[in-house]
Structure 1
Amino acid sequence: MTAPIMSVRRTTLVASALVALGPTSMALYTPAMPQLVEAFATTPAVVKTTLTAYFAGFAFSQLLAGPVADAFGRRGSTLVFMAVYILGSLAAVFAPSVEILTAARLVQGIGAAIGVTVSRAIVRDLYPGDRGARIMNMVGIILAIAPAMSPAIGGMTVGLAGWHAVFVLMVLFGLGVGAVSLFALRETIVPDRSAFRPVRIVRAYATLLANAEFLTASVVIACGIGVFYALATMLPFVLIDTVGLTPTQFGFSMLFQSGMFLAGSVTFRVLMRWITPRQAVMPGLVLIFTGSLCLAAAPYLLGTSLLTVMLPVSLYSFGVALMMPFMMMAGMRPFPHIAGQASAMTGFFQIGTGLVAGTIGAWIGDPVLSVATIIPAMGVIAVSAYLFYRRAAARAEREESDANEPVPVDPAPAA
């Protein structure tokens, strides 16, 4: 048996760098949002559109990044998209108005989209099954560290050097991820340029959307991980404007979320000595459901404070870390031939859900009400979707088992 072109360690390193690009670009930025309201003499709603633009580019470009990665290869596609991300970051550094900043954030999101798509695709290419789930868990551990530090770094940077400096950090981060892609990422597939034909792209996405196993797994992931993208649009205005934290304090307060995600990822790795990745999903969903109920009730029963908001978010984050590794690979399992597009569609659901949730939160207007209703609703949907996923997966396994059974052959009649 031929060894994979990249070792487990190398695959983990490359996938971690790529998948961290999007969340880190978001986490570095959120502490600067209240200052941007003053810098551009605008309103919080307008500044939120800069984050919405980033989400929109990040989400919809997934649908392009997947076919590009399947057609032109993982490595070359990554380098092109990283160049786009760096250009968007440079434009944001020198943005003279909120309109230009919004456009720059859109370009950033388009470039960052390749990270989520390729990181999952290379794991699926090289290490399918439980081994891939364990790699995704390790990616989750490393992923938790970067966003955990990013709000604190972003908050201190805003306090010391202003909001422009945050985008300088993003330029440097983009150059670092680009260097990893250039020197460490190896091509994991044989590129098929015919995969970029519009008819094949549409057919592949239609196949994914018609598959109940893929669709339900993607909804679980979307309402689990998508919560973090939704919270990025809401928490700065809850914790800074309502609770009264400074940008630096806000940055450190996000350790509740990212720190518990890290703790959950480490716990998952320890539990793998005794249970399978699939068995960790249900405990994770129980924590997600519990965190949802607490977040819906605590701010109103006990008052809005750092603890009544972030302790329920911590439970939710711990639960996501337990269920994520298996569910991330589960939906892609039936589609090794279009892993890039399967990864892209999952990412689109994940980020698109965060975008929609953030937009609804902006429409509601009251940030505390937004957090206390939208986030719990996403938790309930994640739990419900998993129940449907179990039925779809069991049906698919029965069909595959029946298809693999040998057809009995009647003995030839005696002469």
Structure 2
Amino acid sequence: MKPRRPLGMSPRRTAIIGGLMVATGPLSLTLYSPALPTIVGDFGTTDAAGKLTLTVYFAAFAMAQLICGPLSDRFGRRAVGLAFFAIYVLGSLIAAVAPSLEVLFLGRFVQGFGVSAGVALSRAMVRDQFVGSEAIRILTLINLILTVTPAVAPTLGSVILLAGTWHYMFVVMAGFGLAILALLTWGARETLPPEARVPFSPSIVFSNYRLLLSSPDFLFPSLLLGLAFSGFHGFTALLPFIFIDDMGLTPFQFAMAMLGQTVSFILGNLAAGYLARRVLGTRLVSIALVAFAASGLGFATLPLFFPASVVAIMAPVGIWMFGIAFISPSATAAAMAGFGAIAGAAGALTGFFQVGGGFVGSLAAGTLFPDARTALVIQLPVIALLTIGVATLDRRRRP
């Protein structure tokens, strides 16, 4: 009889594998963001249609998590991860050979469906093994690993664009997906024991989601995640058009400007990781709210007073990213704390709120405003106010 593979992983291995799985999501955004204006030109379409390649990706990403999480509660984290990342590789290859915008939309949809496993499964793997401050610390480590991809991807995308066409960017994404498949095959261990698995049926899935959505302890932290990432993906969709089209930056200069965002996120993660062992998660959320307030004020004023300044835009971007580094692990751990028995469903639904927020943010940025700069100075301050409002309601309802 073949011996059973041991269950569970160390905190470090969990963080590394979870971080690399989650990193696939932003890789699929930031690697090709310098090429968005080029894609628009190649297909002879509009800026709004170009931004829809982000929106289609987010829609599939958000919805697929609602399937991925319950499947992992039934079949285990590792097996479901292998299946979904194989789908991601397929979507990347479809996008790589896309002869038209419609085929690119299809590739982005399939990509988004497959990559949904990264967020849902990484959080479930953490919740399977860790709780409390230890879970916050590991989620912070996952976020820290996550920062490497946005730091490198825009620069790599710019180099690819200089050396060839944007199609090769999706070949690189496919290669990253294959690397994740190899890591899951030979480096990961299952974290959900067979005796803890729950049947997969529509009635059980809907019952679990109804339980989560009816719990304020889950709902409020998840709303905070959704709003925070709505802001992030809102300006992610807008910045290439502001910097490259409006201000005349080259794709490489754009990538260099985006390093400020990454540095801020890294500093925020280091600070959050240090404080996670010393203060409560609610204090970390308070720090994030102060950052969002300052960032919202910056977005509302600095681009108007200094319209030709890159710093006037990147300063509030950096402050927002600093805030996300604090709120993401704290809100995630708070949302999932009481739902260990359905960690896959809870991880999927927190991911749905997070990515769904990105979907709404990118869709609003691309469709509700006459131009990218107007969207930036209106949408981001509004999201900051909504985030502070939700957090205030959450504090008032608690004893």
TM-score tier, shorter chain, comes to: over 0.9
1:330-381 per-position Cα deviation (integer Å, ceiling 9, x unaligned): 0111111111111111111111111112112222131011111112222222
Larger Rg: 1
Where do residues 366-377 of structure 1 align in structure 2 (5 Å cutoff)? Answer: 366-377=371-382
SS of 1:61's partner is helix
- Is 1:12 matched up with 2:26? no
Amino acid corresponding to residue 386 of structure 1 in structure 2 = A
Task: Tell me the distance in 2 between the aligned counterparts of 1:261 and 1:42.
Answer: 33
Aligned to 1:148: 151
Does the CA-based 8 Å contact 2:7-2:192 persist in structure 1?
Answer: no
CA displacement at 1:272 relative to structure 2: 4.0
Give unpaired runs (5+ residues) of structure 2: 1-5
CA displacement at 1:161 relative to structure 2: 1.3
Where do residues 203-242 of structure 1 align in structure 2 (5 Å cutoff)? Answer: 203-242=207-246
Q: How many residues align?
A: 392
Q: Which of 53, 58, 61 is residue 58 of structure 1 equivalent to?
A: 61
Amino acid corresponding to residue 249 of structure 1 in structure 2 = Q
1:257-286 per-position Cα deviation (integer Å, ceiling 9, x unaligned): 121011111122233464344322212210
Task: Tell me the distance in 1 between the aligned counterparts of 2:278 and 2:221.
Answer: 24
Distance 1:221 1:23, change over 3 A: same
Q: Which of 291, 296, 306 is residue 295 of structure 2 equivalent to?
A: 291
Aligned to 1:82: 85
TM-score under structure 2 normalisation?
0.94
Aligned to 1:410: none
Task: Tell me the distance in 2 between the aligned counterparts of 1:287 and 1:91.
Answer: 40
Amino acid corresponding to residue 347 of structure 1 in structure 2 = G
Does the CA-based 8 Å contact 1:285-1:320 persist in structure 2?
Answer: no
Does the CA-based 8 Å contact 1:66-1:340 persist in structure 2?
Answer: yes
Does the CA-based 8 Å contact 2:95-2:170 persist in structure 1?
Answer: yes
Amino acid corresponding to residue 252 of structure 2 in structure 1 = T
Amino acid corresponding to residue 352 of structure 2 in structure 1 = F
- Is 1:201 matched up with 2:205? yes
- Is 1:378 matched up with 2:368? no
Does the CA-based 8 Å contact 1:230-1:358 persist in structure 2?
Answer: yes
Does the CA-based 8 Å contact 1:118-1:340 persist in structure 2?
Answer: yes
- Is 1:344 matched up with 2:357? no
Task: Tell me the distance in 1 between the aligned counterparts of 2:337 and 2:275.
Answer: 23
Distance 1:355 1:272, change over 3 A: closer
Task: Tell me the distance in 2 between the aligned counterparts of 1:345 and 1:210.
Answer: 13
CA displacement at 1:386 relative to structure 2: 1.7
Does the CA-based 8 Å contact 1:92-1:100 persist in structure 2?
Answer: yes
Q: Which of 18, 23, 41 is residue 44 of structure 2 equivalent to?
A: 41
Task: Tell me the distance in 2 between the aligned counterparts of 1:132 and 1:383.
Answer: 24
- Is 1:114 matched up with 2:117? yes
Q: Which of 272, 278, 282 is residue 286 of structure 2 equivalent to?
A: 282
1:28-71 per-position Cα deviation (integer Å, ceiling 9, x unaligned): 12111111112112221112221111111111111111111111
Task: Tell me the distance in 1 between the aligned counterparts of 2:355 and 2:378.
Answer: 19
- Is 1:320 matched up with 2:320? no
TM-score under structure 1 normalisation?
0.91
Amino acid corresponding to residue 136 of structure 2 in structure 1 = A
CA displacement at 1:194 relative to structure 2: 5.2
Task: Tell me the distance in 2 between the aligned counterparts of 1:344 and 1:39.
Answer: 36
Aligned to 1:177: 180
Amino acid corresponding to residue 378 of structure 1 in structure 2 = I
Does the CA-based 8 Å contact 1:4-1:126 persist in structure 2?
Answer: no
Does the CA-based 8 Å contact 1:234-1:371 persist in structure 2?
Answer: yes
Does the CA-based 8 Å contact 2:7-2:189 persist in structure 1?
Answer: no
Task: Tell me the distance in 2 between the aligned counterparts of 1:195 and 1:372.
Answer: 47
Task: Tell me the distance in 2 between the aligned counterparts of 1:72 and 1:37.
Answer: 41
Give unpaired runs (5+ residues) of structure 1: 396-415
Task: Tell me the distance in 1 between the aligned counterparts of 2:69 and 2:293.
Answer: 32
CA displacement at 1:164 relative to structure 2: 1.0
Does the CA-based 8 Å contact 2:230-2:362 persist in structure 1?
Answer: no
CA displacement at 1:17 relative to structure 2: 0.9
Aligned to 1:331: 335
Amino acid corresponding to residue 198 of structure 1 in structure 2 = P
Amino acid corresponding to residue 303 of structure 1 in structure 2 = P
Aligned to 2:251: 247
Task: Tell me the distance in 1 between the aligned counterparts of 2:37 and 2:152.
Answer: 19
Task: Tell me the distance in 2 between the aligned counterparts of 1:13 and 1:52.
Answer: 28
CA displacement at 1:193 relative to structure 2: 6.9
1:301-328 per-position Cα deviation (integer Å, ceiling 9, x unaligned): 2224311111011111111112222111
CA displacement at 1:4 relative to structure 2: 7.2
